[in-house]
Amino acid sequence: MRKYETMFILNSDLEEEATESLVEKLTGVIADNDGELVDVDEWGTKELAYEINDQKAGYYTVVNFEGTPATVNELKRNYKINDNVMRYIVLRDE
């Protein structure tokens, strides 16, 4: 398995419970698709450098994990279909 790092920014208008639930759902996608979580670092709400969808702040989360390319594809698919994910990036860790 390869090492990856992903960062995603969630809508800051979500309630705390909804935010926690969404972070668990997205990290659960990794575990459900033959991946292994290494570290989940929730940075919390931060001001954005520029507005995204009329939002001035977002909830940042960084996840380090090990997985296969299929794991990454499923994770990206989940990011794209969820309207509360404002931005995301997945990088392969060397």
Tokens of 19: 């935010």
Consecutive 10-residue averages of pLDDT for the chain (94 residues):
95 93 94 92 94 93 95 95 95 88
pTM of the model: 0.91
Spatial CA neighbour of 4 closest among 44, 41, 28, 36: 36
- pLDDT computed for residue 56 by the predictor: 94
d(CA 85, CA 88): 7
- pLDDT computed for residue 94 by the predictor: 76
